[in-house]
Structure 1
Amino acid sequence: MTIHEEDFFYSRVKAVETHTIELYQRMREIPWKQPQIVINCLEELQIALEELRIAEEELRQQNEELLITQQRAESEQKRYQELFEFAPDGYLVTDCSGNIQEANRVAARLLNIRRQHLIRKPLVSFVVEEQRRSFRQLLNQIPTMHRVQDWEVQLCGREDQPFIAALTVETVQDQQEQTIGLRWLVRDISARKQTEECLRQVQLQNLELQEADRLKNQFLAMVSHELRTPMNAILGFSEVLLRRFHHQQDLQYAGMLERIFRNGKHLLTLIEDLLDVSKIQAEQLELHLEPFNLAELIASTIDDLRSLADQKALALQLCLPDSEIAVVNDRLRMQQVLINLLSNAIKFTPAGSVKIEVLELPEGRLAIAVSDTGIGIASTNQSQIFQKFWQVNQSTTRQHGGTGLGLAISKALIELMQGSISVESQLGEGTTFRIEIPRCIKR
């Protein structure tokens, strides 16, 4: 019963109630010969009238509840209609054969056709020609499957280029659970597919680059290893001949041999650096841990480099908390880091001093700071100095030499030692490299 029907019924009840009251009043005014019967009739009429009023009140309450329910239903219907209309994806309602019955704005925009022209059109007509047969086959199976998700189909609107759509389809069933229609969600995934394809191409390129990098490292390791053996022989024979010509005071040949020996040492250092880089990139570099006195190692390293500092009249300063600093680390790799930092400090300090300081830190850690009064590093370059083959500029390379591998190798070694390395510098005022490492490295 609709609200209008109930309003009509309520008015009829009200009319009956009015007529009953009038009849009751008239019957009371008539002088009946059998008053008892009249009294009984009046009482029955009074009861019927009261019941009618109760029924009227109940009907009024039901009518109010029905009105509230109808308003809620209309509000819900409006809300769902707005969701349907303003959804970010296309929504369609079709019959079981795929003929469009309803469509929202996005669906009409995707198919490039007005909504009123979409109605009663078969959805398959918007599928590209080569996919229509498979589309019809799956469409016929949907009533038994009840739901199909992420069904990728190429759709084409009027005078448009085809686009890739992801379809989600659900069946609409009646009370007897019979399929009476289909709901469709249509999502344009062309941009996503294009992004996925770009990502796939990037991944392929990354794999190719990784393979090329692996082959490069393998080649560097092989060449460096093959070069190191003859280079050691050249250096050994050069040193023997150099001592002989010095003994014979043949300064001309001694000078030539000194140049050969010096360039050979530089080339051997480069070979060793390339070997280290290839091992680091292949994650094949291992530490050989042993207990030793770090203070003694630093002092001996300074002695080895003192002649370089003396050539530039630089003061080498050493500041230690104690004469013995017991550590467990890789002695040779620790010395390699110290040589890299100290030789760089000497190389880039025209005048002044180079200082190395060791500090005790909490939780069993140590800090090693290498400071100089040299040319400094611009703040814009400080984030790049630990990159492989990076140097401030070509003029620095020509003036001071070097390959740009020392700091990159040092950083990798310190991190392998479970530590960290940082830099503080101001252009023209010097540089400080700070290392923090544990006293005892855990295996």
Structure 2
Amino acid sequence: MRVQNKHFQSLELYVNRDQDYYFEGNISHVKGPRGENRGYVFLFQDVTDKMRFDRIKSRFITFASHEIRTPLHGLLGFLNVIYDNLHDRLSDEEKKYFQFLLDSGENLRTVVEEMLEMSTLQDENSKLRRSHISLKKLIHSAIEKVALEQEAMSVKVELHAPEQSMIFFGEPDLLVKAFESIIKNIIIYTLPDSVVFIQLTESEALYKIEFISPGITLTAEEVDIMISDFYQMEAQITKVADGIELGFPLAKDIVQWHGGRLIIPDQEEFSIIIELPRRQAKGETEKS
């Protein structure tokens, strides 16, 4: 569809200097009847309220997370002391209830920590430590962490990567957290005694990390829920029900903070793809 005989001579924006305003803009070509360029259309949308709300939300999450984290650490500490002292006098059923309390507390602590990390990533003024790091080493670290936490897991994780070193300029702890979150969540939806493959490749422009799990079938709606900020979804295959999960949204924020993107392709074999720009590493190297 073409817009004819439309041309903007000028465009003026009146902004109150005593207050910050935010706009999103789009520019489109205006074509004539023969396809010639007749001008441009500038479309601006006022997103000031949205930006203010996002800032308020981020501050609230940071404040609430800090307020929850301190008493939660104390509560878990006392629970562990009580459990250790009473362990020999508890029945099997009472031990099960105690373990449920401890596991629930640890899950809540994980959620609180991830909320703080998401808030930090969304803060434009946050300064995180970057360094030149090997992506292969970071992925190996994430695999080892998951293996230690899930000693009895029946799913094997294999990394396939070229021999050459793949150096990226990024925040090591955050990237390990992203890889770890993805691996954990994929394992939940993977059939027992299966293998999750991690394929690391590179091109001239980017590094590509693909997490592949055969046997997982998720609908487009389930994928959208999975990458939303807070999701609670039952694993249909393994029948494992999780609580609120921040794994994928946090991983997505970490990847985007590094200038990359997280993709879940619409294909028969379930996979998650992370793309990280190589030019970022080169550019940062030149500056340092």
Which one has more relative contact order, counting CA pairs under 8 Å at least 6 apart? 2
Shift of 1:267: 0.5
Structure 1 alignment gaps of length 5 or more = 1-201
Deviation string for 1:36-64 (max 9, x for gaps)? xxxxxxxxxxxxxxxxxxxxxxxxxxxxx
Mark the CA change 1:285 to 1:421 in structure 2 (over 3 Å): closer, same or farther.
farther
Partner of 1:362: 204
Equivalent in 214, 220, 225 of residue 373 of structure 1: 214
Q: Secondary structure at the match of 1:424?
A: coil
Report matched runs for 1:378-397 at 5 Å: 378-379=219-220, 382=223, 385-390=226-231, 394-396=233-235
Q: Secondary structure at the match of 1:400?
A: coil
AA matched with 1:416 = W
Shift of 1:263: 0.9
Residues 1:435 and 2:271 are matched in the alignment: no
Partner of 2:41: none
Partner of 2:132: 291
Q: Secondary structure at the match of 2:137?
A: helix
Partner of 2:60: 219
Shift of 1:410: 1.5
Separation of aligned partners in 2, 1:323 and 1:313: 31
Query: How many aligned positions are there?
Result: 237
Mark the CA change 1:353 to 1:241 in structure 2 (over 3 Å): closer, same or farther.
farther
Partner of 1:408: 249
Deviation string for 1:274-322 (max 9, x for gaps)? 2233334443444311233433332232122226666452222122323
Mark the CA change 1:210 to 1:329 in structure 2 (over 3 Å): closer, same or farther.
closer
Partner of 1:335: 176
Mark the CA change 1:237 to 1:379 in structure 2 (over 3 Å): closer, same or farther.
same
Report matched runs for 1:196-275 at 5 Å: 207-208=48-49, 210-239=51-80, 242=83, 248=88, 252=92, 254-275=95-116
Separation of aligned partners in 1, 2:165 and 2:102: 36
Separation of aligned partners in 2, 1:372 and 1:404: 19
AA matched with 1:277 = M
Deviation string for 1:165-213 (max 9, x for gaps)? xxxxxxxxxxxxxxxxxxxxxxxxxxxxxxxxxxxxx95xx65554444
The alignment-based identity, stated in percent, is 23
Separation of aligned partners in 2, 1:353 and 1:310: 15
Q: Which structure: larger Rg?
A: 1
Deviation string for 1:15-41 (max 9, x for gaps)? xxxxxxxxxxxxxxxxxxxxxxxxxxx
Separation of aligned partners in 2, 1:239 and 1:291: 39
Structure 2 alignment gaps of length 5 or more = 1-44
Equivalent in 187, 190, 196 of residue 349 of structure 1: 190
Deviation string for 1:238-272 (max 9, x for gaps)? 445555666x5856565444322211111012112
Note the aligned Cα RMSD (angstroms): 3.6
Deviation string for 1:337-362 (max 9, x for gaps)? 01111011101113322122222322
Contact 2:121 2:257 in 1 (8 A): no
Separation of aligned partners in 2, 1:292 and 1:257: 41
AA matched with 1:354 = V
Contact 1:348 1:400 in 2 (8 A): no
Give the structure-1-normalised TM-score: 0.46
Give the structure-2-normalised TM-score: 0.66
Partner of 1:150: none
